[in-house]
Amino acid sequence: MGYSRMAKCAKIKIKKEKAVFEICNLKFKNILDIEALTIDRPITCIIGSSGSGKTTLLKHLNKLYTPDSGAITYNGSDLAEIPAVSLRREVVMLGQTPVIYNGDLEENLQIGLRFSEKLPASRDRLLNALEQVKLNKPLDDPCLSLSGGEKQRLCLARVMLMDAEVYLLDEPSAALDKETERFIITNLADFVTREKKALIMVTHSEEVSGLYPEGTIRIENGRTGGYAHE
Ligand SMILES: Nc1ncnc2c1ncn2[C@@H]1O[C@H](COP(=O)(O)OP(=O)(O)OP(=O)(O)O)[C@@H](O)[C@H]1O
């Protein structure tokens, strides 16, 4: 990227305590065209109509997609220079479709830690994670018979165990009723705030984005003007 384009973005950069992601002149196919975006609040909700590019943006933050042009930095380092495996130890993503493996709840909870070469969690931590997502099932219960919402909650518990710095969640409450949604999202938000981590979630739920008006970013036709309350 030319120096002048970076300088232009630097000028409009908003100084905050900790900039998590900064995006500058990102173009991707005809889907995203983001001139400048800083994502630096503890809780960020990405909203916008279907097909507007929300998931595509989230995938860029996890290096599942690479911009055609432009740059993304994570805490000041160019994402292009960070190996995907290292990034994903700190920045974990939960996609729209819950992925459940053969086996019981315990195996499904531990597998995220195993994939990222972290130590297994104790039984107490596993039970606590299930409590956080309101899933009252024994650890040795098989998973394949869980309902859609239960599978989604199990996957949420799995990522919460990862002790990441940033959680990227794509419609984490899509399969949940309103009461469970509120319980789980506020629990998650309390957890990331308490632990000084960041939560970036794509959501269609006005109940969820309504809880965090200052953290809401609207994206339409692949473009965004940043946080609604700058
Ligand atoms: N790798 C890709 N190649 C080509 N087109 C893609 C690719 N990924 C997504 N798209 C298209 O880009 C557009 C934006 O998709 P995206 O999944 O980011 O939307 P979204 O805002 O998350 O939508 P929804 O709310 O329905 O989940 C869609 O038209 C989609 O078909």
What amino acid occupies position 75? Answer: N
Residue nearest to atom 3 of ligand 1 (CA): 29
Residue nearest to atom 29 of ligand 1 (CA): 51
Residue 155 CA to residue 135 CA, distance in Å, equals 11
């597998």: which residue's tokens?
Answer: 111
Count the domains in the chain: 1
> Residue 3, class by beta-carbon neighbours within 10 Å (0-12 exposed, 13-18 middle, 19+ buried)?
exposed
Query: What is the 27 CA–ligand 1 centroid distance (Å)?
Result: 14
Closest CA to 156 of 93, 107, 198: 93
């130890």: which residue's tokens?
Answer: 89
ipTM of the complex model: 0.96
Q: Domain range holding 122?
A: 3-227
Q: What is the DSSP letter of 119?
A: P
Question: Domain containing 151 — which CATH number?
Answer: 3.40.50.300
First to last CA, the chain: 27
Residue nearest to atom 16 of ligand 1 (CA): 53
pLDDT (tens place) for every residue of the chain, 230 residues total? 444 444 455 544 444 456 589 999 999 999 999 999 999 999 999 999 999 999 999 999 999 999 999 999 999 999 999 999 999 989 999 999 889 999 999 999 999 999 888 899 999 999 999 999 999 999 999 998 899 999 999 999 999 999 899 999 999 989 899 999 999 999 999 999 998 999 999 999 999 999 999 999 999 999 999 999 76
